[in-house]
Amino acid sequence: MSIFTLTLLRHGETTSPKSLNGATNVDLSIKGQQQMLAACNTLSDIDYVSSSPLQRCERVANIMAKKWKVPYEIHHDLQEMNFGDWDGILFDTLFEKYPDDMSQFFNDPWQTNVPNGEQVESFYNRLDKVWLAHIALEKNALLVCHGGVIRYLISKVLGMPRTGSKHINSLKIDYAAIVQINIFIDEDNIVWPTLVWPTIPITDAIPVATKAGT
């Protein structure tokens, strides 16, 4: 029997936030690095840090692993989907030049061939390998990664249809967002993942009573 937590952290704001950045190795903006450091400072009990190799993830992941003095790994399968000919181009430009292809991709990516890019099945297959590798570690791990990675792993935990697209359009993952998944492995080696809903500290959730006139 084993209990541990996988913490997913999306990278912060980049220097080109309005582009479709998949494999494009854009850097963090100053604000983006601050966002990630602030998010990491809310975490504790991290035993292991795993990061996408792209600098918008790796830069802060490396800093935090050194700060926490824990093992650190670059995990290439944690990269965002490679969008091929669309990669690194402004969203407005893409929707202007390829309105039908872009709409079809976001509504039904399984039926869309990304030109010279990675197909969604390949993307999900490598994320399944990431999932199994971190389950096997049985450690409280921080995975510093990307919005598309986090959306798929959430859909996996919730048992959503693998070929669906609801998680792509309905899950908003902000810059430096944190998503935690508790893992329980029972005596029969069955894995029971639980998505941890973010909570508001009770002192913040309940208004403080004040005297009349103050």
Helix (H) or strand (E) holding 192: strand 191-196
Average pLDDT, integer, range 148-153: 96
Flag whether pLDDT at 165 surpasses 90: no
pLDDT value at residue 199? 65
Domain for residue 211, yes or no?
no
22 burial type by CB count under 10 A (0-12 exposed, 13-18 middle, 19+ buried): buried
Flag whether pLDDT at 31 surpasses 80: yes
The string of DSSP letters for the chain reads: -EEEEEEEEE---BS-TTB--SS--PPBPHHHHHHHHHHHTT-----EEEE-SSHHHHHHHHHHHHHHT--EEE-GGGSPPP-GGGTTSBHHHHHHH-HHHHHHHHH-GGG---TTS--HHHHHHHHHHHHHHHHHHTS-EEEEE-HHHHHHHHHHHTT--TT--HHHHH----TT-EEEEEEEE-TT--EEEEEE-----HHHHSPPP--TT-
Query: Structurally, how many domains does the chain consist of?
Result: 1
Domain for residue 170, yes or no?
yes
Categorise residue 213: left if φ over 0, alpha if ψ from -120 to 50, beta otherwise: left
Average pLDDT, integer, range 107-133: 93
pLDDT tens digit string along 36-57?
999 999 999 999 999 999 999 9
Domain for residue 6, yes or no?
yes
Flag whether pLDDT at 163 surpasses 90: no
Domain for residue 213, yes or no?
no
Flag whether pLDDT at 208 surpasses 70: no
Flag whether pLDDT at 106 surpasses 90: no
Residues spanned by the domain of 121: 2-205
pLDDT value at residue 209? 45
pLDDT tens digit string along 60-71?
999 999 999 999
Flag whether pLDDT at 97 surpasses 60: yes
Flag whether pLDDT at 213 surpasses 70: no
Domain for residue 214, yes or no?
no
Domain for residue 66, yes or no?
yes
Which pTM does this prediction carry? 0.90
Contact call for residues 144 and 119 (beta carbons, < 8 A): no
Q: What is the pLDDT of the chain when averaged over all its residues?
A: 91
What confidence category does residue 201 fall into, taking pLDDT thresholds of 50, 70 and 90? low
Measured between alpha carbons, how far is 11 from 177 in angstroms, rounded to an integer?
8
Domain for residue 8, yes or no?
yes
Residue 73: give its domain's CATH number: 3.40.50.1240
